[in-house]
């Protein structure tokens, strides 16, 4: 079964050295939401934290040998579903970003750990609540 998605926007950042995880990132940049989806971001405001799902578009194809990977700085290989490697069976990334400003279809954000030109798949709300997300991308 193949499931098809199309990007709703694109990440823009001048930074080329990106941190391994958004929770340790101060990198600023912009999410350009394509005009046809602009109405969908009307309730996002400066100060909000948002969950952004994106495509790891530069990842090599996944092969069975990558079911175990040794994260940078670690000594032991771990199962791919216990780490945040960009090389995974479905190359979907997830980041939590802070909204700095919205202007028309552009969301300025802080906390980027995505590369310039990364295709954005979805944005979901995040509110003060219950569930912690891991701090260290492995």
> Within 105-134, which residues bind a copy of itself (CB under 8 A)?
119, 121-134
Provide the minimum distance between the beta carbon of 94 and a copy of itself in the complex, in angstroms, as a whole number.
Answer: 6
51: number of CA atoms within 13 Å, CB side?
Answer: 12
Q: Are 109 and 96 in contact (CB under 8 A)?
A: no
Provide the minimum distance between the beta carbon of 86 and a copy of itself in the complex, in angstroms, as a whole number.
Answer: 12
Distance CA 117, CA 122 (A): 15
Nearer to a copy of itself, 13 or 118 (CB): 118
Size of the chain, expressed as the number of residues it contains? 138
Strands 106-110 and 92-103: antiparallel
- Which residues of the chain form contacts with a copy of itself (CB under 8 A)? 1-8, 23, 36-37, 39-44, 49-51, 53, 55, 64, 67-68, 78-84, 88-90, 92, 94, 96, 119, 121-136, 138
């Amino acid at each position: 079964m193949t499931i098809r998605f199309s990007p709703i926007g694109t990440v823009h950042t001048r930074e080329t050295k990106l941190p391994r995880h958004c929770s340790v990132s101060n990198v600023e940049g912009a999410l350009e939401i394509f005009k046809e989806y602009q109405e969908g971001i009307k309730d996002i405001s400066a100060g909000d934290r948002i969950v952004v799902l994106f495509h790891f578009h530069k990842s090599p194809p996944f092969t069975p040998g990558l079911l175990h990977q040794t994260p940078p700085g670690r000594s032991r290989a771990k199962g791919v579903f216990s780490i945040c490697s960009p090389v995974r069976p479905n190359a979907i990334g997830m980041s939590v970003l802070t909204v700095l400003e919205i202007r028309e279809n552009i969301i300025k954000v802080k906390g980027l750990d995505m590369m310039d030109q990364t295709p954005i798949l979805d944005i979901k709300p995040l509110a003060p609540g219950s569930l912690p997300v891991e701090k260290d991308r492995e």
